[in-house]
Amino acid sequence: MSSPKVFIYTPVDQTGKSHERLTAAGIDLKLGDIVWSKLDGNLDIAGQIGKGTAALMGVAIMRIPITREVMQVSKDLRIVAKYTVGTDDVDVEAATEMGILVTHCPTEANWSGVAEGAMAMMLALLKKVRERDRFVKEGGWRDASLTGQFLGKRQDGYEGLTIGIIGLGRIGSRLADLLAPWRVRLIACDPYKGDEQFIHHNVDRVDMDTLLRESDVVSLHTNLTAETRGMIGAEQLGKMKSTAVLLNTSRGPVVNGDALFEVLDQGRIAAAAIDVFEEEPVPAQSPLLGLGDKILVSPHVVTFNIGAGLTTAIPWATDHVLAALRGEVPEHVYNPEVIDKWLDRFGGKNLL
């Protein structure tokens, strides 16, 4: 029996230990040359997939979509295993139709890191951290323009801020937990979560319009789907307070970038902090980059933390591939509706 083929089109394991583990299992491993953090290398992965490839592995990069055409290159393809939480670069519907598993890695280091990053970005905006730092370095000292906002409710009658969370899944609920001691008013919108999720995290359920109208901070924590693509556009931004700030650490295409530029440029919302863009890497000529302190930007690295990031996900993704090649259903299947069909095709058929 020939060795099963696995193609890691965006290698991320700098130690090489997971590669050694795969080859030790008898796998014919092929590594792509894409440097995922810079998107250097051959992005035409369809032309690099061997006919007998049983597994694809990589990170979520929108410029390297795993389309139906890509997956059709190998009729033996069993699994598309992502090192990332996000799978929005994969045509999951096509994979399901074709009987292919899509797995992802929702490690706590990843999703909780997003919540902590959103918290840091929010505080940087509200407390004017960048402005204060720059003011002192330029020779200034104490100025009314450096006045920040107090977050929580106080005994002197100050009601505190309202924080609106769109998407109360792992990340949104962790952000709510981080904010609990701050005594802010927490509201959220998520039609896919039951009341128990809201109660458990001490968050009031509201509809989208109410959240946009009443929030001082709107933080986005949704997957990218057909439903959420362009979810925040001119109409939605127009409902926000002129003093409100928007945080996007989810996916760039959830927010219409042109509409965001307009409301920031015209002062119709106060500020925004974004880790993700509609096009990545963000073009140097993007008008969003010319808004000064009205926008805080980050290069899609909100999960980059020492000992975290993709480090903890690499063993998970490796486990997923090994299980699938043994003919077993791995953990963290993103498209569970495919499992019965997949078992009919590959169940119990061990390639190792």
Q: Please name the residues in contact with 17: beta carbons below 8 A apart, sequence gap of 6 or more.
A: none
Longest dimension (CA), the chain: 76
Cis peptide leading into residue 281 (ω within 30°): yes
pLDDT value at position 39? Answer: 62
Residue-wise pLDDT tens digits, 124-176:
999 999 999 999 999 999 999 999 999 999 999 999 999 999 999 999 999 99
In a 13 Å sphere around the CA of 332, the CA atoms on its Cβ side amount to: 22
* Cα–Cα distance for residue pair 306/277, rounded to 1 Å: 24
Beta-carbon count within 10 A of 118 CB: 27
CB 80 within 8 A of CB 93: no
Q: Which amino acid is at 63?
A: R
Residue-wise pLDDT tens digits, 92-115:
999 999 999 999 999 998 899 999
Q: What percent of the chain has pLDDT over 70?
A: 98
E strands of the chain, at which residues? 5-8, 28-31, 53-58, 79-82, 101-103, 162-166, 185-189, 204-205, 217-220, 245-248, 271-274, 295-297
| pTM (2 d.p.) | 0.87
Listed residue (299, 300, 314, 324) closest to 107, CA to CA: 314
Catalytic residues: 251, 280, 300
pLDDT value at position 265? Answer: 98
Q: Taking 90 as the threshold, does the pLDDT of residue 242 lie above it?
A: yes
Q: Taking 70 as the threshold, does the pLDDT of residue 41 lie above it?
A: no
